[in-house]
Amino acid sequence: MLFPDYRPRRLRQNQALRRMIRETVLTVDDFVLPLFAIGGKNVKNPIDSMPGHFQLSVDQLLKTAKKVHESGIPAVMLFGVPDKKDALATSAYAKDGIVQKAVKTLKDSFPELLVITDVCLCQYTDHGHCGIVDGHSVDNDATLDLLARTALSHAKAGADMVAPSDMMDGRVAEIRGILDDNGYSHTPIMSYAAKYCSYYYGPFRAAADSAPKFGDRRTYQMDPANSTEAIREVTMDVEEGADIIMVKPALAYLDIICRVRQEIDLPVAAYNVSGEFSMIKAAGKMGWIDDQKVMMETLTSIKRAGADIILTYFALEAAEILNGMG
């Protein structure tokens, strides 16, 4: 098909035509909004590098959850900011931990809202790493039990889904086993299966107070240069019992999302991370871009690449536009 016999512009002449042949359609059903829970009452600490986002005490969390529910967004992802930290991350799996309290309150108030919990230890350890430290190394196998206990504590609190983000080898199987053994075989696991060691996480680490106190996470998070390794990671998690596979970050890893979508028949999630959010917001504030339009283009690109689920700090803003209110 060559010009002048074929003219692609014929089908771009007006909005109605463009809508009719649009291949990728973004909806509020695609979104999960990440939230940061912190102790206290009436706490709403602004996150400077993430405009419009806050560390929220449980009472304030309910107000945001109400907006999420009313917008039609189906789910939130909960991260905890604990009052205390120690070498064994005991706040992560405590019955009265911040995430456990937040989950129970959210489910009591909004039973239809899907509450997903991040399962990791970095926010809860005094060294900021995602597992138990032996010297300056993270002990993979010693960490698995604590991750499993954390996931179980979230399920007991009422979490609809758990999402291990630590990147320890074997953690999906360990979590699946403890959930099944304790009567939570119905609780799905959304695995951060291909999580890269990325500099796009900076704003999040400030929000969650989770930056490592020494070294970095290159020994357990993936090398940004690798693609085939992502398929090995994803395949391992599928075989261990993951129900949903996540790629993180999203925007700089669209090729990974696409490849995972082609090779794996489970639902694929992608995390539009804090750095991706903050860059768009900062450029919009400077007047260099139309941040609302770039936001929608970015989210569409993530879905076009193959993501069924998009975790994004843009969720409420995008929902307003999609619902015709923006």
> Which CATH number do you get for residue 281?
3.20.20.70
Residue of higher predicted confidence among 129 and 14: 14
The pLDDT of residue 325 is above 70: no
Radius of gyration of the chain (CA): 20
Task: Please report whether residue 14 resides in a domain.
Answer: no
Residue 220, pLDDT score: 87
Residue 24, pLDDT score: 97
Beta bridge partners of 75: 32, 114
Active-site residue identified among 85, 195, 281, 303: 195
pLDDT digits (tens, 9 = 90+) for 212-266: 777 678 888 999 999 999 999 999 999 999 999 999 999 999 999 999 999 999 9
Please, which residues have CB within 8 angstroms of residue 201's CB and are 6 or more apart in sequence? 249, 273, 274, 275
Structure token pair of residue 299: 């989210």
Task: Please report whether residue 177 resides in a domain.
Answer: yes
Residue 188, pLDDT score: 98
Residue 100, pLDDT score: 98
Average pLDDT rounded to a whole number, residues 137-165 = 96
pTM of the model: 0.95
Residue 134, pLDDT score: 86
Of 119-128, 132-141, 176-185, the range with the highest mean pLDDT is 176-185
Residue 183, pLDDT score: 98
Residue 27, pLDDT score: 97
Of 200-204, 269-273, 313-317, the one with minimum mean pLDDT is 200-204
The pLDDT of residue 123 is above 60: yes
pLDDT digits (tens, 9 = 90+) for 266-280: 999 999 999 999 999
Residue 270, pLDDT score: 98
Of all residues in the chain, the percent with pLDDT exceeding 70 is 99
Average pLDDT over all residues of the chain:
95
Query: What is the domain extent for residue 136?
Result: 24-322
Residue 11, pLDDT score: 94
Catalytic residue at 248?
A: yes
The span from the CA of 117 to the CA of 180, in Å, is 17
Task: Please report whether residue 143 resides in a domain.
Answer: yes
Active-site residue identified among 85, 248, 281, 303: 248
The pLDDT of residue 193 is above 70: yes
Position 26: which residue type?
Answer: L
Residue 99, pLDDT score: 98
Average pLDDT rounded to a whole number, residues 33-52 = 96
Number of domains in the chain: 1
The span from the CA of 171 to the CA of 173, in Å, is 5
Of all residues in the chain, the percent with pLDDT exceeding 90 is 89
Task: Please report whether residue 130 resides in a domain.
Answer: yes
Tokens 């993180």 correspond to 248
Please, which residues have CB within 8 angstroms of residue 229's CB and are 6 or more apart in sequence? 222, 223
CA max distance for the chain: 70
Residue 286, pLDDT score: 97
Task: Please report whether residue 18 resides in a domain.
Answer: no
Task: Please report whether residue 137 resides in a domain.
Answer: yes
CA atoms within 13 A on the CB side of 18: 5
Catalytic residue at 213?
A: no
